[in-house]
Each structure stands twice: as structure tokens, then as C-alpha cells.
A and B are shown apart, each in its own frame.
Chain A
Amino acid sequence: MNINVTLVIQGLAFFAVAWLVMKFGWPHIIGAIEERQKKIGDGLAAAEEGKRALASASSQQDQVLREARAEASGIRDRAEKEYGQIVEKAKTDAIAEGNRQKAVAVAEIETEAHRAREALRTQVAELAVKGAEKLIRKEIDAAAHKALLDDLIAEIAR
């Protein structure tokens, strides 16, 4: 084992390599690592932030949905009430109208009947007059006329 000048060369070579690594190697790699660590950290923070935003948006959405549902049910209640009122009113109106029309019809019928009776009476009177005329003009036997008159009377009474 001889110690010789090799040791100087080896030492210098070692120094040179260490210097090159320090100058051109290490900072790049450690820089990239630290930058990546920062990126990952930022990414995680952003993800956390996104999650929080999503939760808040979802709760807001729930709120809006609940409000809309309440409003819709209010509108429906009101509509149902209104509908009931309309139906009720229509029913009473219809009944009133029916009654009115019925009264009108009854009155008309009565008037008609009255008029018919009047007309009948007039005709009966004319008939009676005509019969009397015939009786008077031709003196016929009473027996024969009695039957005729009875018929007439029966007709009028009916």
C-alpha cells in the first residue's frame, strides 16, 4: 500500500464532482421537488375550497327548492279554495235560474189554460146560441130535442 500522488488527483476529482453537483444538479432537482410540493399543496387547498363551495351551493339550492315548494303549495291551496267557491256559486246560480224559469213556465201554463177556457166558453156560448136559434126556427118535438140538449150540456160541462 503506497500512498502517492493518486490521492491528490482523487481528492481534486471528488471536489470537482461535488462542485458540479452543487452548481448544476442539486438546485434543479430540489427546486423541482419543492415546486411540485407547492403545486400539490395548492391543488389540495383548491380541492378543499371547491368542496366547500359545492356544499354551500347545494345548501342554497335546497333553500330555493324549499321556498319554491312552499310557494307552489300555497298557490294550489288558493286555487282549490277559489275553485270551490266558483262551483258553489254556480250551483246556487243554477238553482235560482231553474226556479225562476219554472215559475215563468207555470205562469205561462196558467195563462194558456185560462185563455183556452175563455175561448171554450165563448164557443159554448155561440153553440148554445146556434142551438137555440135552430130550436126556435124549427119547432121540433121536445123529446127529440131534449136528448140533443142533454148532449150539449154534457159537452159543456166536460
Chain B
Amino acid sequence: MTDYIKHHLVHLQWKLGDHPFMTVHVDSVFFKFLAALVFLFVFIRVARKSTSGVPGKLQCAIEMIVEFVDGLVKETFHGHSKLIAPLAITIFGLVFLMNFMDMIPVDWLPASAHAAGVEYLRVVPTADLNTTIGMALCVFLLIQYFGIKHKGVGGFFKEFVTAPFGPMGAPANLLLRLIEEAVRPLSLSLRLFGNMYAGELIFILIAVMTLGATLDALSTYIMAPMQFIAGFVWTAFHILVITLQAFIFMMLTIVYLSMAAEHH
């Protein structure tokens, strides 16, 4: 049983060098690229064919999301930015699609891959800390870029030592600011990772309920219905979780970028 769980938590890896850092999680990268392709294919195709006349059903659906995100950005960010809204919808779409991999029964893809000769496979890229940290770092860089762009280099660095306690509290200001900046990408990435990792783990534990079960054992007939109910309930609940997590990541990014553009 522990072997089963452990096996489920190992990434398909590709070593680029001797250093542990030089390892690629091929499965995370692959499924993220898959999500990106699906997202781009649908979104760009709709955008290309988008008409201001009577829209098709797909265009309507995409437009609803676009308008929703656009409304959120306009509410939060008081200024004009060509970047925030597309970034926000990219985050929402990508994170949602990656999270959605969790909806596929937990053994299907790994077992199929195993049959095809791939030993390890984890299908939820957001349950890999590397994915969430990678995205959070991008957001972090954008926050700094936005700060410099809207306040100028001087204003940006001046704020490091003057806000929020004024010039007299410069060391405290700097310390607070550094913590604040460090905490943002950390909380962004860890929140998403934690939720998805836990969700995946619970799916694995539900799968374990009938691991190695045989038809002549009584426990099988007790555990199987329980497994069905537990799997159903957790999957239904998880639909909320994956949407909510995608939304939170997007919303916090919008808020952070807006804050970075505003003067303190």
C-alpha cells in the first residue's frame, strides 16, 4: 500500500546534469504544455473568429469569462493596462485546466502510461511545487516590473525605505517590504500547491480502499460502495476547489499588480 502511494507521488524525471537542480519533471511540463495548447487553441481560435455580430455558443462562453475577468480587473486596477486582464485570464484558464487533470480518475493515466512503458506519471502539474513556484515567480517579477513602470526607478526604490513608517523608520520599512515581497510568491504558490497536492493525495487514499481486493473477500463488498461514495463526494467537492483555486490565484495576481502600481 505504501509502495502504491509512494509510486503515485514520484515524478517522471529527466536528468540534465549531476546537480539535483538539473532535473526536469517531464510529466508536469508535458501536462502543462497540454493545458496551454488546449487553452490557446480554444482562446485564440475564438478570438480569430470573434465577431461583433451574433456570437456562436463557444464565443458566448468565452466572452462571458472575458467580461467577468475584465470587470474584475477594472474594479481593482484603476488605470489602463493592456497586460493585467490577459494575464489574469491566462492564469485562470491555465490553472483551471491543470487543476482539472485531478478530475480524471487517479489511476487511469498513470496505469495507461505504465502499460506503455512509462514508469512514473503524475498528471496534475499544479500538484508539483515547481509549477506553482514558476508561475508565482513570474507574477513576482511582473509585480516589480509594474512598480518600476508606474513609479519610476527612483520612486520604486525610495518606497522601499520610506513606506509605511516614513524616512525615520527606514530599516523597519526595508525589512517589512522584503518580507512582504517574499511572502507573496510564497503564499501564491504554496496555497495552490497545497490544495492540489492534498486533493490528489485524498484521491489516492480513496483509490487505496480497494487496493488488491479480491472477489472472495467480504471486505471488498463493504469497501467498494464506500469507495464509490467517497470518490463521488470528493470529486464533486473538488470541482469547487479547482475553480476556486484558479480564481484565487488570478484574483491575487490582479490585486498584487494593482497594489504595485499604486503609490503608498
How many angstroms from the CA of A8 to the CA of B32 in the assembled complex?
A: 13
Q: Are A33 and B63 also in contact (CB < 8 A) when A18-B90, A21-B90 are?
A: yes
Judged by a CB distance under 8 angstroms, whether B143 is at the interface is no
How many angstroms from the CA of A30 to the CA of B183 in the assembled complex?
A: 33
Q: In whole Å, how far is A9's beta carbon from the nearest beta carbon of chain B?
A: 5
Q: Are A29 and B131 also in contact (CB < 8 A) when A5-B24, A11-B137, A22-B82 are?
A: no
Q: Which residues of B contact A7 (CB under 8 A)?
A: 129-131, 133-134, 137
Asked if A29 and B29 sit within 8 Å, CB to CB, the answer is no
Q: Which of B24-39 contact A (CB under 8 A)?
A: 24-25, 28-29, 32-33, 36, 39
Asked if B47 and A10 sit within 8 Å, CB to CB, the answer is no
Contact with A along B87-104 (1 / 0, CB 8 A): 101110010000000000
Q: Which residues of A contact B66 (CB under 8 A)?
A: 26, 29-30, 33
Q: Assign chain A's interface to a size class.
A: 20 to 34
Q: In whole Å, how far is B37's beta carbon from the nearest beta carbon of chain A?
A: 9
Determine chain B's interface SS by DSSP, over half rule. helix
Determine chain A's interface SS by DSSP, over half rule. helix
Q: Which residues of A contact B135 (CB under 8 A)?
A: 10-11, 14
Q: In whole Å, how far is A68's beta carbon from the nearest beta carbon of chain B?
A: 46
Asked if A18 and B130 sit within 8 Å, CB to CB, the answer is no
Which residue on chain A has the smallest CB distance to residue B87? A18
Contact with A along B60-92 (1 / 0, CB 8 A): 001100110010000000000011011101110
Asked if B90 and A17 sit within 8 Å, CB to CB, the answer is yes
Q: In whole Å, how far is B177's beta carbon from the nearest beta carbon of chain A?
A: 23
Asked if B53 and A36 sit within 8 Å, CB to CB, the answer is yes
Judged by a CB distance under 8 angstroms, whether A92 is at the interface is no
Judged by a CB distance under 8 angstroms, whether B50 is at the interface is yes
Asked if B86 and A22 sit within 8 Å, CB to CB, the answer is yes
Q: Which residues of A contact B125 (CB under 8 A)?
A: 10
Judged by a CB distance under 8 angstroms, whether B57 is at the interface is no
Q: Assign chain B's interface to a size class.
A: 35 or more
Judged by a CB distance under 8 angstroms, whether A86 is at the interface is no
Q: Which residues of B contact A32 (CB under 8 A)?
A: 50-52, 55, 59, 63
How many angstroms from the CA of A2 to the CA of B157 in the assembled complex?
A: 33
How many angstroms from the CA of A7 to the CA of B193 in the assembled complex?
A: 13
Asked if A25 and B134 sit within 8 Å, CB to CB, the answer is no
Q: Which residues of B contact A8 (CB under 8 A)?
A: 134
Q: Which residues of A contact B128 (CB under 8 A)?
A: 6
Which residue on chain A has the smallest CB distance to residue B15? A4
Q: Which residues of A contact B131 (CB under 8 A)?
A: 6-7, 10
Q: Which residues of A contact B33 (CB under 8 A)?
A: 13
Asked if A29 and B94 sit within 8 Å, CB to CB, the answer is no
How many angstroms from the CA of A36 to the CA of B63 in the assembled complex?
A: 11
Name 10 extra pairs, CB < 8 A, besides A5-B21, A13-B134: A5-B23, A7-B133, A9-B134, A10-B135, A16-B36, A17-B40, A18-B87, A22-B83, A25-B44, A36-B53
